[in-house]
Amino acid sequence: MLIDLFHYLTTPASWAHRRGGHLRESVLLRSRSRRCRTAWAPHLGRARALVAQACDGLAQARTCVVLGSGLLDDVPLDHLAARFAEVRLVDAIHPWPTRWAVRGRANVTLVTDDLTRPGAVDAHGGDATVDLVISANLLSQLPILPVGRAGESDDHLGGRIVRAHLDALSRLDARVCLVTDVEQREEDREGRLTDRLDLLHGETLPPPDETWTWELAPFGETARHRRLVHRVQGYRDWHTALARSKPA
């Protein structure tokens, strides 16, 4: 609790992002990632590997933009910083672990923005010098705060936010690497399904390059005899995946 309070009080954040809940969510995520580091390790390893593979075969390696950089747990920063002339990390909150990780890296820049803002993806990923845009474990997170604020007043808000992000990624000229969790399963200790949640609010994705499971909350994290397991889909090249899914 004291460590969480330290991060809440000292992490640089605008009043709007504090009031809107972005800082609180960032602090809670940092805390959970530390508690669940063993359970999360296979998922994070798969995500980092897929992002690194997305760099292969690029004609140029000028600028890489990471949307929703967060704690950088799922981002192979060393690989990206060595590969690209410039790396831009875009998020509403840049927590201290991320700020410490980029110290001394002259080609890595922190950019603060709310990625649910209309036009945000185009603004950061649409630069002509951008060769790779990464959206890693961001898509399902974008609706959480807006949907929480809206409550039951707008049943379709989550789906619109997810679709807007996907449409924005599809408009970009750069290669796009997308990693996202799509479904949450709640299981008991006997492996029985006790609940299921669509994390993309009804939006569907084309067949992925890779899929795997992420034990988001092991037994005891949210309930003694329940665990939360997410299904993750990964795309090394979102544009190619879209093209494959179109009728011949």
pLDDT digits (tens, 9 = 90+) for 76-91: 999 999 999 999 999 9
What residues make up the domain containing 136?
Answer: 2-177
What average pLDDT score do residues 221-230 get?
A: 92
CATH of the domain at 167: 3.40.50.150
Phi then psi dihedrals of residue 203, to 5 deg: -80, 140
Question: Are the beta carbons of 79 and 52 closer than 8 angstroms?
Answer: yes
In a domain, 196, yes or no: no
In a domain, 248, yes or no: no
Question: Are the beta carbons of 94 and 77 closer than 8 angstroms?
Answer: no
In a domain, 58, yes or no: yes
In a domain, 24, yes or no: yes
CA distance 187 to 164: 31
In a domain, 195, yes or no: no
In a domain, 215, yes or no: no
Phi then psi dihedrals of residue 20, to 5 deg: -75, -5
pLDDT digits (tens, 9 = 90+) for 29-57: 788 888 889 999 999 999 999 999 999 99
Is residue 155 over pLDDT 80? no
In a domain, 8, yes or no: yes
- Structural domain count of the chain: 1
In a domain, 189, yes or no: no
- CB atoms < 10 A from the CB of 247, how many? 3
